[in-house]
Amino acid sequence: MSARENILARIAQARNPRVEVDVDNEIRRHARGPIPPLEKDLVKRFCEQAARLASDVVSVATTSDVPGLVARYLNERRLPLKAVCWPSMASLDWRAAGIEVEPRAARGDDLVGITGTFLGIAETGTLMLLSGPTTPATVSLLPETHVAVVEKQQIVATMEDAWDRLRAEHRVLPRAVNFVSGPSRTADIEQTVTLGAHGPYRVLIIVVDGQVSGQ
Amino acid sequence: MQVTAMHFKRKAAENLHNEKLQRALERLQSKFVDSRAAANAELPNFEEIRNAAAEIRRKVTENLDRYLLRFEQEATARGAVVHWAETPDDANRIVADIARQYGLRKAVKSKSMVSEECALNDHLASEGVEVLETDLGEYILQLAKEPPSHIVAPVVHKSKEDISDLFEKKHHRTRTTQIAELCREAREILRPGFLAAELGISGGNFIIAETGSVLIVTNEGNGRLTTTLPRVHVAITGIEKVVPTLEDVTTLLRLLPRAATGQSITNYVSVLTGTKGQKETDGAERFHIILLDNGRSRLLGTELQPMLRCIRCGACMNHCPVYQNVGGHAYGWVYPGPMGSVLTPAFVGLANALDLPHASTFCGECAVVCPVKIPLPDLMRHLRTRQMEQRLRPWTERAALGVWSWMARRPAVYAVGARIIARLLQLLAGDKKRLRYLIGVSGWTKGRDLPAPAGRTFRDLYKSGKSS
């Protein structure tokens, strides 16, 4: 007998015959558990929580304001005006702001990575990023600075809401769903929190007021 | 990993006198205990969420095969290969075969306690596959050739000076004792390793039956790098880690980081499903998932079944007065603290871990803080009973307990016996009313005096109180 058969046989043998659950039906229902109460203003909650987890959070009126803001942010920190970005973000006018962007997956020596966001989650101030041909996962991971653009209407209350949106818009899960909550960190040495472990040292979240840009 | 749990008493005694370790363990209170309490206080419905989490995990252990089969079906449909391993040797062989199949020689690994169960690194080294640990704590331990002493904070026993010495010796760079600089140094050393790696090995905090996904929580980002850059990803995890749906795992995620480190969420939560798509420019091309049993299925249907609910947060050890004083290495295997005192005997055999079920004051704090409500003291008590039944305790202990139990079942004899013993102890103690040594409990009196009984027995006092 194979390991698989042995393990499954042992589990089946120990099973209480009176307990029988229709697993497929239960999964199809995917019932929610208890959810902590949240304030009404989800954008405010998202920004506060993201800032608490050490992201830099800035609001702008329209997406056309984004490149200029990114240029200022990089200049203030003496970071290069050179970035790798999601191909889905390449259409913004980066050149006008003086930023040289390459739309592709990131390499080990890229210093700035610019991404969009699938959704923002207000409960924890978290970015939800989906991997894909125009949204490579490495852009939010390898560079020391990660810039993420999220539009106001992309902010949902909880991860449960995010799963519902994902199920509605995508037939299956992408290879990687990455939830990002601030710069990478470690507390392994003397339990002292240090920002910038293997991923970004800093995360800039730009919240775009969608109503203005949608005019 | 080699089991040295039978030396618990000796190692615990050594560690109690290790001043450096004692200073390191003092950090547990402020860094873990206090921050967990603060993080949970932010959830007004914490207890409701905790009940739901315990129920999810209980339900899974009752129907484990159903969820595993659904997981296997979904994962396979998305292009992952699911392997089943009965023993650590099986798991090691599977990983080595994968490395050979694709011709992989360089591996990076993110923290995995299941791979510690298997001593996977040693096995892969013997097969010519070089494994680089990438979690900062695990990397430090790989350099120091030491096992982890905590499942969440593996180098909690080391000071920054220890780590400075180690880095200076191994990296040949200028010595620094600044924690931020030490972290930067490790990043710079490890980054080329990530970029060169052909094989990424990770654990799995949860596997999701609904979608066939492996979920990994990390703070450093090494888990993401390990599972994104190398062309082959192998995730190795225990069969009990399955949860039904994305909603269920979300409930558990509200508790796991809070219980572990007092975070509302870890920096990264990655849900990995299937392999790289045709047009994708990054991500692993091959995804293998190893489900390890190693004694887990044998706990089903026994009193120890609730232990399979464990989500490896480490709260029980952080709050345990025994762990807080003796540290993780004393427990002698992968899992320390109360959860280890149950898991180690269950996985490596009761006879090989005689002292662990006794490494508890039964204060009950571990059960109070457990996010999935595992009755840890009850499980340790059950293991003590099994030890007596299997005659695994020393004959003196069994004889003493035999006498006590015989007396306890005969109230009249017990009353007379207690009176005699109380008088005897008073006589022996004399004027000082303290005993510096008592035959039979010399282990106890070695560290402290035994106060002699002050007068009449409790039962005598109780009787006189009632009649008056």
At residue A212 the predicted structure's pLDDT band, cuts being 50, 70 and 90, is very low
- pTM: predicted TM-score of the whole model, two decimal places: 0.95
SS3 B379: helix
Interface list for A 12-31 with B (CB within 8 A)? 12-16, 19, 21, 23-24, 26-27, 30-31
Regarding whether B173 and B92 lie in a shared domain, the answer is yes
Point out the domain boundary residue: B297, B322, B347. B297
| Number of structural domains chain B divides into | 3
Is there a contact between B216 and B272 (Cβ–Cβ < 8 Å)?
yes
Regarding whether B342 and B356 lie in a shared domain, the answer is yes
The reply to whether residue B219 touches residue A197, judged by beta carbons under 8 angstroms, is yes
Residue with tokens 């909880």: A158
- Residue B172 placed within a domain: yes
Regarding whether B234 and B149 lie in a shared domain, the answer is yes
**Residue B196: per-residue pLDDT:** 98
Quote the percentage of chain B above a pLDDT of 70. 99
**Residue A210: per-residue pLDDT:** 74
User: Which residues of chain B lie closer than 8 angstroms to A3, CB-CB?
Assistant: 84-86, 90, 293
Check whether B130 has a pLDDT greater than 90: yes
Regarding whether B337 and B423 lie in a shared domain, the answer is no
For residue B69, how far is the Cα from the chain centroid?
Answer: 27
The reply to whether residue A198 touches residue B225, judged by beta carbons under 8 angstroms, is yes
- Nearest CA-CA partner of A140 in B450, B208, B282, B294: B282
Q: Give me the helices (H) in B239-373, please.
A: 246-261, 315-318, 321-326, 337-348, 365-369
Regarding whether B250 and B328 lie in a shared domain, the answer is no
**Residue B466: per-residue pLDDT:** 62
Tell me the CA end-to-end span of chain B in Å, nearest whole number.
64
Best B94, B188, B228, B287 member to test A by mutation, with max A CBs in 10 Å, is B228
Interface list for A 58-87 with B (CB within 8 A)? none
Interface list for A 105-124 with B (CB within 8 A)? 105-106, 108, 124
- Residue B305 placed within a domain: no
- Residue B343 placed within a domain: yes
Closest-CA distance, A96 to chain B, in angstroms, reads: 28
Q: What is the pLDDT of residues B285-326, one digit of tens each?
A: 999 999 999 999 999 999 999 999 999 999 999 999 999 999
Print the domain residue range for B1. Answer: 1-42+314-392
The reply to whether residue A186 touches residue B219, judged by beta carbons under 8 angstroms, is yes
SS3 A198: coil
CATH assignment at residue B67: 3.40.50.10420
Secondary structure E strands in chain A? 56-60, 82-85, 100-103, 112-115, 119-121, 126-130, 145-151, 155-156, 176-180, 185-186, 194-195, 202-208
At residue B467 the predicted structure's pLDDT band, cuts being 50, 70 and 90, is low
User: Which residues of chain A lie closer than 8 angstroms to B238, CB-CB?
Assistant: none
Least trusted range by pLDDT, from A175-189, B97-111, B136-150, B419-433: B419-433
Please report, as a single letter, which amino acid is at residue A194.
T
- Residue B309 placed within a domain: no
- Residue B303 placed within a domain: no
What CA–CA distance (Å, rounded) separates A206 from B56? 37
What CA–CA distance (Å, rounded) separates B66 from A22? 9
- Residue B19 placed within a domain: yes
Cα separations in angstroms, A63 against A35, A60, A208, A215: 32, 7, 6, 12
Q: What is the pLDDT of residues B171-187, one digit of tens each?
A: 999 999 999 999 999 99
The 3-class SS string of A72-121 reads HHHHHCCCCCEEEECHHHCCCCCHHHCCEEEECCCCCCCCEEEECCCEEE
Contacts 24+ apart (CB under 8 A), B443-451: B450/B425
Mean of per-residue pLDDT scores for chain A? 95
In what side-by-side order are the strands of the sheet with A119-121?
A155-156, A119-121, A126-130, A176-180, B268-272, B213-218, B206-208, B242-243
Is there a contact between B309 and B372 (Cβ–Cβ < 8 Å)?
yes
Neighbouring C-alpha atoms within 13 Å toward the C-beta of A79? 22
Residue of chain A nearest B285, judged by CA positions? A175
Q: What is the pLDDT of residues B327-356, one digit of tens each?
A: 999 999 999 999 999 999 999 999 999 999
What CA–CA distance (Å, rounded) separates B378 from B331? 19
Regarding whether B121 and B268 lie in a shared domain, the answer is yes
Q: What is the pLDDT of residues B349-396, one digit of tens each?
A: 999 999 999 999 999 999 999 999 999 999 999 999 999 999 999 898
B151, two tokens? 């499942």
- Nearest CA-CA partner of A115 in B282, B233, B246: B282
Residue of chain B nearest A2, judged by CA positions? B84
User: Which residues of chain B lie closer than 8 angstroms to A183, CB-CB?
Assistant: 267
Closest-CA distance, B364 to chain A, in angstroms, reads: 26
Regarding whether B218 and B93 lie in a shared domain, the answer is yes
- Residue B308 placed within a domain: no
**Sign of the alpha-carbon torsion through A119, A120, A126, A127:** positive
Rg for chain A, CA atoms, rounded: 21
What CA–CA distance (Å, rounded) separates B152 from A188? 9
User: Which residues of chain B lie closer than 8 angstroms to A196, CB-CB?
Assistant: 180, 183-184, 187
What CA–CA distance (Å, rounded) separates A124 from A107? 29
Point out the domain boundary residue: B339, B362, B392. B392
Regarding whether B330 and B267 lie in a shared domain, the answer is no
B465, two tokens? 């109180």
**Residue B288: per-residue pLDDT:** 98
- Residue B95 placed within a domain: yes
Point out the domain boundary residue: B369, B392, B415. B392
At residue A214 the predicted structure's pLDDT band, cuts being 50, 70 and 90, is very low
Comparing CB atoms, the residue among A4, A32, A141 nearest residue B221 is A141
Which residues lie closer than 8 Å to B138 by C-beta, 6 or more apart?
Answer: B109, B111, B148, B154
Regarding whether B14 and B55 lie in a shared domain, the answer is no
Regarding whether B185 and B288 lie in a shared domain, the answer is yes
Check whether A213 has a pLDDT greater than 50: no
The reply to whether residue A200 touches residue B250, judged by beta carbons under 8 angstroms, is no
Mean of per-residue pLDDT scores for chain B? 95
**Which domains does chain A possess?**
40-213 (3.40.50.10420)
Contacts 24+ apart (CB under 8 A), B457-462: B457/B415, B457/B418, B457/B419, B457/B422, B459/B415, B459/B418, B460/B415, B460/B419
**Residue A105: per-residue pLDDT:** 97
In what side-by-side order are the strands of the sheet with B81-85?
B81-85, B286-292, B232-238, B199-202, B106-109, B130-133
Check whether A211 has a pLDDT greater than 70: no
What CA–CA distance (Å, rounded) separates B81 from B232? 11
**Residue B430: per-residue pLDDT:** 86
The reply to whether residue B277 touches residue A175, judged by beta carbons under 8 angstroms, is yes
Regarding whether B324 and B281 lie in a shared domain, the answer is no
**Residue A134: per-residue pLDDT:** 96
Q: What is the pLDDT of residues B268-294, one digit of tens each?
A: 999 999 999 999 999 999 999 999 999
Is there a contact between B375 and B366 (Cβ–Cβ < 8 Å)?
no
B65: number of Cβ within 10 Å = 21
Check whether B468 has a pLDDT greater than 60: no
In this structure, are strands B268-272 and B213-218 parallel, antiparallel, or unpaired?
antiparallel
Please report, as a single letter, which amino acid is at residue B25.
L
Regarding whether B224 and B113 lie in a shared domain, the answer is yes
Least trusted range by pLDDT, from A154-168, B325-339, B445-459: B445-459
Check whether B160 has a pLDDT greater than 70: yes
Q: What is the pLDDT of residues A4-52, one digit of tens each?
A: 999 999 999 998 777 778 999 999 999 999 999 999 999 999 999 999 9
User: Which residues of chain A lie closer than 8 angstroms to B228, CB-CB?
Assistant: 137-138, 141, 176
Comparing CB atoms, the residue among B190, B222, B271 nearest residue A173 is B271
Task: Tell me what the mean pLDDT of segment A161-169 comes to.
Answer: 98
Check whether B86 has a pLDDT greater than 80: yes
